[in-house]
Amino acid sequence: MEPELIQHLRNSLASSPRLRIGLGDDAAILHWHDREDLVVTTDLISDEIDFLLAEVDPRRVGRKALAVNLSDLAAMGAEPIAAVVSLLLPKRPPQGTTLELATKLYEGMLPLCEQFDCVVAGGDTNSWSGPLAISVTAFGSCGAAPPLLRSAAKPGDVLLVTGQLGGSIVGHHFDFTPRVNEARKLAVEGLAHAAMDISDGLLLDLSRMLKESAVSAVVDLPAVPVSPAAAKLAESSGKTPLQHALSDGEDFELLFTASPEAAAKLASEGLLGTSVTVIGTLVAGEGIWADHVGGKRLEPQGFLHQ
Amino acid sequence: MEPELIQHLRNSLASSPRLRIGLGDDAAILHWHDREDLVVTTDLISDEIDFLLAEVDPRRVGRKALAVNLSDLAAMGAEPIAAVVSLLLPKRPPQGTTLELATKLYEGMLPLCEQFDCVVAGGDTNSWSGPLAISVTAFGSCGAAPPLLRSAAKPGDVLLVTGQLGGSIVGHHFDFTPRVNEARKLAVEGLAHAAMDISDGLLLDLSRMLKESAVSAVVDLPAVPVSPAAAKLAESSGKTPLQHALSDGEDFELLFTASPEAAAKLASEGLLGTSVTVIGTLVAGEGIWADHVGGKRLEPQGFLHQ
């Protein structure tokens, strides 16, 4: 969402006691009457921006539409409960009929639903002369565990990521596994302080976490786990593999902070069932700093001003 | 949603114990762990289908996007809790900038939120080269009252509607008041059996309620409350005002059934604070019948085959 609009909404909406966590995190947390907290997120993907319908199996598109929302629930440490799906279907899809397209989109979602025990609770299906767009709203619950918030990072924390970063455009942005199970383990066992998912690039998303937490980070650039896809892209992009890993969008990995003790355990013992890498430490102050170049400041866009 | 897709989804999804009421009603009812039931609905509106952005104040569009969802919550007898909003914004709106458009859409929603104590809990904002689309997901709760279902109509019930029908295109489809308060009173005081909102035309929506309840209705056509807008449209449309009232979409009034005793009270005593009209009775069997033309069957599309 555009920063100006977020600010406008924050000013308009900030006062409701029902909105425990609202704009500025990966998902909202609602609290009303005596019910337990409900974690809610919504994410819309559309043709030509998030995928090219003419070039991809619609099942992968449907899967992605749900997966990006499950990734947002994971970012809060929530377990998925249900999702609702609004479709805007082109009247003349690149292949097949509109109904076939809708059916394939759902076919792509259902295995992921099953994998993460998430029910499709309903939807709204429309056809029009425009391109395909899919809006998913997903609900989850943190249960008895406290949610993982962007604002909970503290000086002295260690910064970690799951998986490998960069080059998602090659295919990972369709096929990634939302880090629901990893995040639930972090939340339930109290292993993480702050967390978010990396959707717009490591440095840009990190800058958001730091802003919400009012802290600074020193990133150990050589430690950042670079994906083979980032290395492949770098062969022709004019960027280094590391630059791809720092700035490419749609990694959908977890970026989180932990105490040094928890971080050491997580990085060495494979507790999450997924690779976890220490990439830096949090300090008082503001901004993102690269320690290996004598304390140079990194721009959130991912360009290293050397 | 297209009937074939609904059937496909019902077949794929029907088995979850978490989905207490799912596809086939105005909203889904979710139940999980020991939480109370959560009522969820989603509705997407788009330029050129549900409004003409070039010809209308975007505030009215934003208001409508939320109002149609609140109307679905009302149809279940639920009180609103919160909504999330996904915007697909044109990069070149007919007037002003994309950010101004987004701001006006929200400005149209916020007074309605306040009126019905509904929090905007978050959203996703995207811009693209296509037209404007707005997807809203709304959550509500029936509290201790049982939800109002389409499937609860019984032979012997009386059929009622709120307000006046037809001609919504003249302006009502932007400015209608979702019947949240009326429906809550019906639900909390146990005054209604089945209920739904009229979004696709009286006869078509009635046929859906009858199908879900496996009953038939005899409609007293002269009793159907016809709006002044329907009469105005009839001057040039080639249809009668009644035909508009029977088949025009987007009335967003409540269609519900009640015992004869409750119906008499509701129609005469102004209990709901909104006009309520008895328009027929439910009987065993199937289909919709017009008693004033000697038992002729009415087609759900709203055409009276005389």
Tens-of-pLDDT digits for all 306 residues of chain B?
A: 566 766 776 666 656 777 776 667 788 888 766 556 889 999 999 999 999 999 999 999 999 999 999 999 999 999 999 999 999 999 999 999 999 999 999 999 999 999 999 999 888 999 999 999 999 999 999 988 999 999 999 999 999 999 999 999 999 999 999 999 999 999 999 999 999 999 999 999 999 999 999 999 999 999 999 999 999 999 999 999 999 999 999 999 999 999 999 999 998 888 999 999 999 999 999 999 987 556 678 877 644 433
Whole-number average pLDDT of chain A: 90
Q: Does B106 touch chain A (CB under 8 A)?
A: yes
**Could you say which of 3.40.1350.10, 3.30.70.580, 3.40.1170.60, 3.30.1330.10 is the CATH number of the domain covering A18-141?**
3.30.1330.10
Q: Which two tokens stand for residue A208?
A: 């958001």
For the segment A181-200, the average pLDDT, to the nearest whole number, is 97
Distance (Å, whole) CA A259 – CA A154 = 9
Q: Which two tokens stand for residue B90?
A: 């044109």
Top pLDDT among B38 and A210 is at A210
What are the φ/ψ torsions at residue B180 (nearest 5 degrees)? -65, -50
Please report the pLDDT score of residue B260 as a whole number: 98
What are the φ/ψ torsions at residue A219 (nearest 5 degrees)? -100, 130
B25 annotated to a ligand binding site: no
Residues of chain B with CATH 3.30.1330.10: 16-141
First to last CA, chain B: 30
Please report the pLDDT score of residue B303 as a whole number: 41
Distance (Å, whole) CA A211 – CA A282 = 12
Given B128, B133, B143, which is nearest A49 (Cβ)? B128
- Order the strands of the B216-219 sheet from edge to edge: B195-197, B254-258, B158-162, B276-283, B216-219, B288-290, B296-298
Distance (Å, whole) CA A165 – CA B303 = 60
Render the burial of A244-277: b for 16+ CB within 10 Å, e for the rest: bbbbbbbbbbbbbbbbeebbeebbeeebbeeebb
Please report the pLDDT score of residue A304 as a whole number: 40
Phi-psi category of A146—alpha, beta or left, where left has phi over 0 and alpha has psi -120 to 50?
beta
Cβ-contact A197, A254 below 8 angstroms? yes
Q: Does A106 touch chain B (CB under 8 A)?
A: yes
Give the class (CATH, top level) of B16-141. alpha beta
Residues of chain B with CATH 3.90.650.10: 150-298
Q: Which two tokens stand for residue A188?
A: 């339930």
- Tally of CA atoms within 13 A in the half-sphere of A208 that contains its CB: 21
| B171, β-bridge pairs | none
Judged by CB atoms within 8 Å, which residues 142-201 of B form the interface with A?
143
Distance (Å, whole) CA A155 – CA A179 = 25
pLDDT at A305 over 50: no
Chain B: closest CA distance from residue A237 (Å): 25
Probe site for chain B from A25, A53, A128, A136 (most B CB atoms < 10 A): A128
Distance (Å, whole) CA B105 – CA B242 = 34
Give the class (CATH, top level) of A150-298. alpha beta
Contacts of B288 (CB under 8 A, 6+ apart): B203, B206, B207, B210, B216, B217, B219, B297, B298, B300
> For A55-60, which contacts have Cβ atoms below 8 Å and span 24 or more sequence positions?
A56/A174, A57/A104, A57/A108, A58/A93, A58/A101, A58/A104, A58/A105, A58/A108, A59/A104, A59/A105, A59/A107, A59/A108, A60/A108, A60/A174, A60/A175
ipTM of the complex: 0.90
DSSP A198: -
Q: Does B36 touch chain A (CB under 8 A)?
A: yes
Given A27, A121, A125, which is nearest B28 (Cβ)? A121
Does the beta-carbon distance from A44 to B88 stay under 8 Å?
Answer: yes
Does the beta-carbon distance from A119 to B84 stay under 8 Å?
Answer: no
